[in-house]
Amino acid sequence: MVLSSLLFPLWSYFIVLPLYPEGLNFHIYANKFGGNIDSINTLNHYTGLAPIDPKLFLELKIIPVILMIFGLFAIIVAVLGNRILALAWFVLFALFGVIALIDFYIWLYRYGHNVDPKAPLAIEPQTLL
């Protein structure tokens, strides 16, 4: 579980623009960002969105540790074969997933609504709600 979250993105997007007909990728792993971050940050500059800087994301340090703890907990549950521990693991992991999605949404909301009004290209705030 932990290894796969480090090797494969938890979330990705691909966008094709007239300036980038080959498309741009952005990938979020448990511990890093990948893809065409420099090109995306260039576009962000012109549209007034903040640059994407991995150093600003505490989550990239915390999530791998949390996943390792869940992995160890899963091994302990498997070795002991205890149903109550298995249920506790499931409930805690589901809760972690919900909290992570809420954190992701809040981050996207703030990011999409804090647009620089002095940017060369004016865009409306993004995301729903």
For residue range 17-61, list pLDDT tens digits in order. Answer: 888 999 999 999 989 999 999 999 998 888 888 899 999 899 999
Rg (CA), the chain: 18
**Token pair recorded at residue 41:** 């940050």
Domain-wise residue ranges, the chain: 2-113
* Number of Cβ atoms within 10 Å of the Cβ of 45: 15
Q: Are the beta carbons of 12 and 28 closer than 8 angstroms?
A: yes
The predicted pLDDT at position 80 comes to 95
**Is residue 30 classed as helix, strand or coil in its secondary structure?**
coil
Task: Count how many Cα atoms sit within 13 Å of the Cα of residue 28 in the half-sphere of its side chain.
Answer: 15
The predicted pLDDT at position 126 comes to 67
Q: Which residues contact 118 (CB under 8 A, 6 or more apart)?
A: 48
pTM over 0.85: no
